[in-house]
Amino acid sequence: MTDFAPTPLHGAAYSVAIETVGGTNVIGGCSTPEFYNELMGKLRALDLWAQTQPPDVRKAYRYGIDKVSADLKARLDIFENSRKVRAALASIPRPSDG
């Protein structure tokens, strides 16, 4: 498996998908289900547009959209896990300071 997109067209479509949601900082800040849904709406709109393009472009955009969608979900999962850990820290038994 490679770290690069299958073709330059796929890489370009991935870049456009990143731009569509507002950039990598926005992806990194995907911290609530509401924000995730808002950003996914932007990707759905991009996907609708991509469906009007030639097959090779559609495939490239499908790749880019799927990658950004996975990136957003991963960031949301990190934030949700962090919230759960903070909640558990508030109630976990700890040794006394003796």
Tokens representing 91 are: 């109630």
| Amino acid at residue number 65 | I
Residue 2 confidence (pLDDT):
64
Residues 65, 73: contact at Cβ < 8 Å? no
Among candidates 46, 21, 49, which has minimal Cα distance to 35?
21
Q: Which residues of the chain have pLDDT under 70?
A: 1-2, 97-98
pLDDT over 90, % of the chain = 91
Residue 57 confidence (pLDDT):
97
DSSP 12-50: HHHHHHHHHHT-HHHHHT--SHHHHHHHHHHHHHHHHHH
User: Structural domain boundaries of the chain?
Assistant: 8-87
Residue 1 confidence (pLDDT):
53
Tokens representing 8 are: 């330059």
